[in-house]
A = this chain, B = another copy of it.
Amino acid sequence: MFNFKQAFNFVPVIDSETEYSDKQIAIIMAAEKLFAIKGFDGASVRDIAHEADINVAMISYYFGSKEKLMEAVFEMRTIKMRLKVETLLQNTSLPPLQKVYVLIDDYVDKFIHQQEFHKIMIREQMIEKDTLIARLIHQLKKRNLESIKTLIDAGQKCGDFKADIDVVLMMTTLVGTVSQMITSQHFYRSVNQLEYMAEIEFQQHMRKKLSIHLRNMFKKLLTNEN
């Protein structure tokens, strides 16, 4: 059996209820990759089977259908998508702005480390269908938004943050900026002459740049200081 915690240990993991076998994990990850690159309809089950180096029939065997496989991708990822907000909220020693900084870094990390999954989410958000996945995304976003609202609220109550903050718009900028960086990273590399930087190094580069940029912006957005 595949060790979930070890394989993805760079992000804090909350264990999934569903246990998947090694082969199932392989299929899910192959699917995640190809759904990200080609989209749901663009990636055929044969493509996925080939990528995962398994027989096509195994996909139906394990997941029932292509759609159910997509749901499995979501189930596996969304379980780990809950932000650190819950923990941050309970932390009394950290000042609100610092909490926001941690939050930004958490978002950036998650997007960068799970680019493929996020590409799928971006795509799926646009499809006008009332699928299980659409509902899962909606629910995930709503839960996150509420947690963040509580955090901002606390900052306002203690006088650190300004009064008139549109949290939804703020989050739109946070998520949008990171998403845009992910989707256009090829352009970013080209424009900054970073074409030949190693993937890992480039990820750290993005991570740092985004973190500084967003911290800077959010500080100005939330507080009155310079």
CB distance from A45 to the nearest CB of B (A): 13
Q: Beyond A128-B37, A138-B190, is A172–B181 a contact (Cβ under 8 Å)?
A: yes
User: Within the assembled complex, what's the spacing in Å between the Cα atoms of A76 and B193?
Assistant: 30
The answer, yes or no, to whether A21 is at the interface (CB within 8 Å) is no
Chain B residues in 8 Å Cβ range of A122: 122, 126, 183
With a CB–CB cut-off of 8 A, which chain B residues contact A210? 169
A180 at the binding interface (Cβ < 8 Å)? yes
| Tally of contact residues, A, Cβ under 8 A | 46
- In the assembled complex, the Cα of A186 lies from the Cα of B183 at a distance in Å of 21
The one of B37, B38, B209 in contact with A166, judged by C-beta atoms closer than 8 angstroms, is B209
Chain B residues lying within 8 Å of A168, measured Cβ to Cβ, are: 188, 191-192
* CB-defined contacts of A37 to chain B, threshold 8 Å: 126-128
* A18 adjacent to chain B (CB < 8 Å): no
A145 close to chain B: CB less than 8 A: yes
Known: A39-B40, A41-B41. A177 touches B183 (CB 8 A): no
Query: By the criterion CB–CB under 8 Å, are A141 and B184 in contact?
Result: yes
- A221 located at the interface, meaning its Cβ lies under 8 Å from any Cβ of chain B in the complex: yes
Q: Per-residue 0/1 for A18-48: is the Cβ within 8 Å of any B Cβ (1 yes, 0 no)?
A: 0000000000000000001111111000000
Does residue A62 face the partner (Cβ distance < 8 Å to B)?
no
